[in-house]
């Protein structure tokens, strides 16, 4: 498995999975990371880690079709066969979705289908879980399709919602399980 990543900010999943590849926990080779944010820490990290790195955004490619084509060219040029979204905050274009159909994974910080969809990311998800009164939350690894957070679920892991939880405390508990969940899903996909 040849891994590529898309990240908008810190790229914690990309970092975790790359470390897992390097220490033998995942039989895969991380090769590339693209970001829509030229100043993202993930992009700087990828360059330092020796991954092929690119800033691919609407700033550089105002035409959405051209951006979509540039992303496919970058990923294919790096030999990527499996794509992982690592906090990527943009919808993928039809060319990327077609080129990597069934091979694009995302991790979402709730038990999908609950608390997913457009506008449901980061702290907003944890706030929605708390506001709903749900007794549990967790993380979901799913395949990426054209619909936001609508692709088939590959794996889920649950955490309790505790009395007195805040967005920060729930977020920390969910983030603590995300890396291993994503790692397990990639092992199964391989």
How far is the C-alpha of 43 from the C-alpha of 66, rounded, in Å?
21
Among the options 108, 115, 126, 142, which is catalytic?
108
**Counting Cβ atoms within 10 Å, is residue 31 exposed (0-12), middle (13-18) or buried (19+)?**
buried
Neighbouring-strand partners of residue 105: 84, 143
3-state secondary structure of 186: helix
How far is the C-alpha of 70 from the C-alpha of 131, rounded, in Å?
40
Known active-site residue 108:
yes
Strand duo 2-7 + 82-85: pairing: parallel
The residues annotated as belonging to the active site are: 108
């Amino acid at each position: 498995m040849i891994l590529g990543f898309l990240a908008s900010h810190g790229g914690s999943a990309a970092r975790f999975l790359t470390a897992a590849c390097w220490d033998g926990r995942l039989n895969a080779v991380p090769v590339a990371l693209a970001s829509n944010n030229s100043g993202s820490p993930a992009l700087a990290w990828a360059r330092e880690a020796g991954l092929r790195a690119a800033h691919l955004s609407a700033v550089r490619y105002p035409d959405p079709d051209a951006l979509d084509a540039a992303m496919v060219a970058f990923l294919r040029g790096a030999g990527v066969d499996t794509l992982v979204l690592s906090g990527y905050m943009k919808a993928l274009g039809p060319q990327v979705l077609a080129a990597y159909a069934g091979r694009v994974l995302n991790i979402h910080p709730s038990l999908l289908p609950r608390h997913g969809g457009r506008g449901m990311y980061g702290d907003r998800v944890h706030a929605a879980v708390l506001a709903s009164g749900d007794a549990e939350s967790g993380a979901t690894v799913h395949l990426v399709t054209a619909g936001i957070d609508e692709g088939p679920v590959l794996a889920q892991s649950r955490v309790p919602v505790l009395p007195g939880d805040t967005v920060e405390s729930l977020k920390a508990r969910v983030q603590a399980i995300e890396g291993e969940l994503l790692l397990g899903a990639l092992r199964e996909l391989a």
